[in-house]
Structure formats: C-alpha cells, structure tokens
Chains A and B, each alone.
Chain A
Amino acid sequence: MTKQWAELTPSEKREERFKRWISPPGVSFASPQSAKAYKERTTRLARALQLQVPDRVPVFLPAEFFAASYAGTNLRTVMYDYAELKRAWLKFLNEFDADTFLSPGMVPPGRALDAVDYKLYRWPGHGLGPNALSYQAVEGEYMKASEYDALIKDPTDFWLRIFLPRICGAFEGFTQIPSLMSFQEIATVSFVPFGLPDVQASFQALLEAGRESMKWLAVVIEVGNAAMAAGYPGMAGGLAKAPFDTLGDTLRGTQGIMMDIFRRPDKVQAAMERLVPLVIDSAVAAADFSNTPLIFFPLHKGADGFMSVKQFETFYWPTLKKVLLALVNEGILPVLFAEGSYNKRLDVIQDMPKGSVAWYFDQTDIFRAKKEIGDKYCLIGNVPTSLLMTGKPQGVKAHCRKLIEVCGKDGGYILAGGANIDEGNPDNLRAMMAAAKEYGTYNK
C-alpha cells in the first residue's frame, strides 16, 4: 500500500476493509475448499450489503442462543461451562451450512458477572428460572436526572466513580476514589485511596472478572478461528449503540429519558453529543480488531411505538447519523437493526448516501421499505419470529420465497429473521437456507 490510511478516501477505506474481510491475512483454512467457500460467502454478503447482485441471496440465521438448546444444553450451562459453550456452537456451525457463523461471544461469561455482582442483567439461575432462554436487561435509573453535567464533563470519571458502583455491587469501593483529574506530582497522599479496604476489594473483584473473561475469550476466539478455518465468516465486527439508546437504555431508563425530553431537552442533546465521539472510537477499534467491516447497531427507543416522527428527527436521528457518517468515512458499513417497526421513519432515514448503511428490519413492512428505500440501502429481514417459533418448515419456506422474490429483486437483500429465536424447530432455520438456495439464485 502506497498511501497512508489517513490519506485514503472513504470509498478506498471501505474497499480496503472489505478486502481484508474477504481475504483475511494470516488465516489458515482447513482445506482449499473451505478457503474457497469462505471467499464465496464473504463476497456474497459484501455484494448484497453494497447494493450489488450476488450469486444468490445470502442468509443471516436468527439464532443468537439457539445453539445451546439445539445441542441439548441451555444458556445457564454455557454461561458457566466454556467447554459446553464451544461444543454447542461448533455443533450448530457444523450442522447448518449457514452463510455466516454465529459467535458464542454474545453469551456473557457467568462467573465474571458473578464476580462483580452485575445488576444490569438477570440471567438463567440468577433472577430468572434456570432454563430461561436469554438474559434480560433490568431497567432502571442508573444515572440520576441531576447527573447529566457529571457525564458531560468527564464520562470516564462518571463511569468509574458513579455508574459502575451502581450497576455492580462489588464496585461499591470505587465511590471512595477521588477524581483522578486532580492528580498532582506531589506524591504524598496520591495513592492513599487505593489502600482503603473497600477500594482494594473492588479492584480484586475487577481483577477476578478480568481473569474469568480471559478464559471465556480464549474459547470465543477458538470457536471463531475454527469457524473461519472451516470457511464461515463472522457477521459482526462489533456492536454499537445510538447515543439516545445509551442514555435511554443504559443510563436513564425509559421512564427517565422520556421525562428528560420535556424537562431538560438541552441536557439530553448535550449528553448525546458528548457520547458521539466515544461511540465512533469504540466502533472503529472493534472493526479494526476483528478485520470485519460491519458494525451492528441494535436500535431500540427510536422505533415507531416509542416516539413521534418529530421526536425521532429531533432527539434520535441527528446524533445517530453523526456516528454513522463518521463510520462510513472510516470505510465501515453500519448495519442498523431496527427492533420493533420503522414504518413511519422510512422518509427520515433516506438522508444518507447510497449504499452507506444496511437496514435490518424486525417488524417493519419490508415490502414497502423495498419500494421506498430499497434502491438506497441493502435491506435485511424479516421472517416473523412467531412463524419461526410456531410455524412449520413449509410455511417458513413459503414466506422466505415471497421475501426473496420481492425484496431480493436486483440484489441488495439478505434473508433474515425478525428477532432471534432461542429454541424451536431447527428445520425452520434449515428451511430459510433451503429457500435461499432454491429461490434466491440470481441469473448470471
């Protein structure tokens, strides 16, 4: 490469990122066939994502934790037993011939959560029944209305000394650390706070969570490498959130953020602006680390049912768009997973460059979306979750056929579920693959 990264244009950067994904440096494939299959799969996805016509419609199987029940175990077990995690995810990989592999990285390490007394989730055997199929977030006001200024002034300080002690029982001691912004070179009492028993206990818990996470990560990487070697690309280089969702989901809670829209709209805007560069930096780092040009955005509180179009235009979209454009400039392709429906936002979201992002729809009328935004962005979706959970393979296949014929017209489409399913008839997932192969092949 003759040009430095910073000198590349956005489209050169994107080309470079996709090249690294399609022909990853340093991967040893299991066989020439798997090397070929890997290239075919990534090329298929890359073409669809960039509004081109691939060899056939690619598929994202909606199976986040499905591998656990499929392999005869459950989420509780694989959160704590990494050998089981590996066995289940490899079994799923080997028995579905999917277009991508599902990373076990979405399964959190149970003992790390235990070590810090993590309160943001309930998970199987910890606030939920032992056989629960997924973890669930606990809504709460983890940032008080009066704390916007603290967040805006110094997010790191806010996370460390205010937010973390609230969401992790074991980090109570961090409330006793003074702000590091006042650190001076006159080193007499500088380290005293770190000798306090409660502070030491919190750091011990943090170290333990770190040690446990490394064991988990080794398995996640091992499965990822095995999948790559067998020819299956990962689908997400990382996750990111809309600034409004970070405020609404993670910090203020639904009740809190909805009140803030009326009572302190300026603070909401200022906090979101403060979050924009943080989201950008972590998304770019994730894409760099994973050599995958796709960053997934699960979008929550901007959906049709949550706010009006005007509120969406005022509070949700502008800072999200800033993040997206910055990532696009870095050559990344953001995949926007719109939970719920976006039927009333199809107009608003048209103001991005062609092919810049892909929209992954849950309950949005995707047929209408194909007409309105299908020539601008790749569309992904959306076999109804209820059909996948309660329907029969023939019904699933028929629905997929319709999706492929309408949304798959002229490329720019990936067949996927609405939301993920965590149990159910595996043949319904196989029916999705079968439909793509049978009906989704493009004429050359």
Chain B
Amino acid sequence: MSEDLVNLLADLKEEEVLAQVKKRLDAGDDPYKILDETSKGMAIVGKRFAGGEYFLPELVYSGEVLKQVNALLKPKLGAGKAASKKIGKVVIGTVAGDIHDIGLNIVDFMLDVNGFDVTNLGVDVPKEKFVEAVKQTKAPVLGLSGFLTPAFDAMKETVEALEKAGLRKNLKIMIGGGQMDDEVRKYAKADAYGKDAMAAVSLSKKWFGVN
C-alpha cells in the first residue's frame, strides 16, 4: 500500500493520492511515513522531468497535488520535528528589474526534490537582499535567475555587491534563465551557467560534494 502512494503521486493520480492520504490518516497511520512517501514520489517526478519524460505541466500539477497533501498532513505533524535531512542550503532569486519566475520556480522545485534546503527570494530581488540572505543563511551556493537582457547587468551588480560585502570567497554562484549563457556568466563573473534546472541540481551537488 505504501509503495502505492509513491507511485500514485509520481503518476500524478490526484484523486487517488488524496483519497489514500485521507484514508490512512483516518486509520491513524504515521503522518511522517506518509510525508516521506510523498517526498519519494516527488523525487520520481523530478527524475522524470530530468529525463525528459515530464515537463512543466507535470511539475506544476504535482506541486499542486503536493500542496493539498501537505494541507492534510499539517494538522497531524507535530511542530519542531524535521521532516528529513537536507544536503545543504541554496539561496535563489530573480535579479533586480526582472519579474519572471517560471524558471526560478522550476529550479526551486528541482533543488527541493533533490534534497536541498532552498531559500527562494522571489522576483525583482535587489542586490542588498541577496547579500542579506547569504549572510543570514550562510548558504554556500547562490542561484541567480533572469529572463531579460537587463538582467545581465543586474547579475553583474549582484556579484559585485557580494564581493564588496566580503561574501564572495566562500560562495559559488550559478546563473540561468531566458537569455543567459556562458558569455553572460563571464560578464557577470559568476562561477557557472546552467542551461536548465537539472544543471542547477548537478552544479549544487558538485559544490556540496555529493553525488
């Protein structure tokens, strides 16, 4: 039965997933076990996305199903008990002057299902806010997203602000989105350009030294 939930979620069977979660919670099943199974299901979604079997519609849909599962689980989960151990912290955001978030949210999703603790600062993030977030979270990896060409300069300025704040040395910075490529990476003085969300995951894994 528990095998089921993992696959039902991975196969995006919304009604069946919700029905089973409700039934098991009513029967007094351990909500942490259910939570763990949903994480496994989402990890499969992430794998299928990386493998080119799933696309944005499936990510969005699975995210929506997960939201409903979490709403069911929340009242049953005690406070303070961490769901699972994370690999490490990654801060992401769309740079100043750019309000695009589709790519950003895919990266958030993929990092999350691959075990990272993601702080998503959202869109149109001023460089000061990136500096503050890196300082606060002590995250060693930062992802800058941008869709439009003005993001080239905003990325450059964000990297410079981190340098000025003395945070650059222990920080790996990756960029991606819309019109970004390795030329922009050089221009902005970031460490890496990732062409998609899978690249964000593999870069983060590399920098955290995990496989």
Contact = CB atoms under 8 A, between A and B. Distances in A.
Interface of A: 122, 128-129, 132-134, 136, 138-139, 254-255, 258-259, 261-263, 305-308, 311, 384-387, 389-391, 418-423
B128 to A, nearest CB: 14
B97 A129 contact: yes
Contacts of B183: 384, 386-387, 390-391
A391 B152 CA distance: 12
B100 A386 contact: no
A122 B99 CA distance: 9
A308 B58 CA distance: 10
Contacts of B179: 385-386, 418-419
Nearest to B57: A258
A132 B97 contact: yes
B208 interface: no
A308 B51 CA distance: 12
Contacts, number: 85
A252 to B, nearest CB: 12
Interface SS of chain B: helix, strand, loop or mixed? loop
Nearest to A133: B150
Contacts of A139: 101-102
Contact of A133 (B53, B96, B149): B149
A82 to B, nearest CB: 24
Contact of A390 (B102, B148, B187): B187
Contacts of A255: 60
B184 A390 contact: yes
Contact of B99 (A138, A307, A391, A421): A138
B56 A307 contact: yes
A136 B100 CA distance: 9
Interface in B169-192: 178-181, 183-184, 186-187
A136 B149 contact: no
Contacts of B60: 254-255, 258-259
B150 A259 contact: no
Given A418-B179, A419-B179, A386 B184 contact: yes
Contact of B12 (A262, A386, A389, A390): A262
Contacts of B96: 129
B97 A386 contact: no
For the complex of A and B, the 7 pairs showing the least CB-CB separation, nearest first, are A258-B60, A386-B183, A258-B57, A385-B179, A390-B187, A308-B55, A261-B57
27 contacts: A128-B97, A128-B99, A132-B97, A134-B150, A139-B102, A254-B56, A254-B60, A255-B60, A258-B56, A258-B57, A258-B61, A259-B64, A261-B57, A262-B12, A262-B14, A263-B14, A306-B55, A306-B56, A307-B55, A307-B56, A307-B57, A384-B181, A389-B149, A390-B183, A391-B183, A421-B149, A423-B150
A103 B84 CA distance: 56
Nearest to A418: B179
B117 interface: no
A415 B134 CA distance: 43
A192 B135 CA distance: 61
Contacts of A132: 97, 150
Contact of B149 (A122, A262, A307, A422): A422
A318 B179 CA distance: 28
Interface string B88-108: 000000001111111100000
B104 to A, nearest CB: 12
A369 B100 CA distance: 28
B68 to A, nearest CB: 12
A409 B35 CA distance: 58
B196 A311 contact: no
Contacts of A136: 98-100, 148
Contacts of A384: 181, 183
Contacts of A419: 149, 178-179
Contact of B152 (A134, A261, A308, A386): A386
Contacts of B98: 136
Interface string B128-157: 000000000000000000001110100000
A389 B99 contact: no
Contacts of B64: 259
Contacts of B55: 305-308, 311
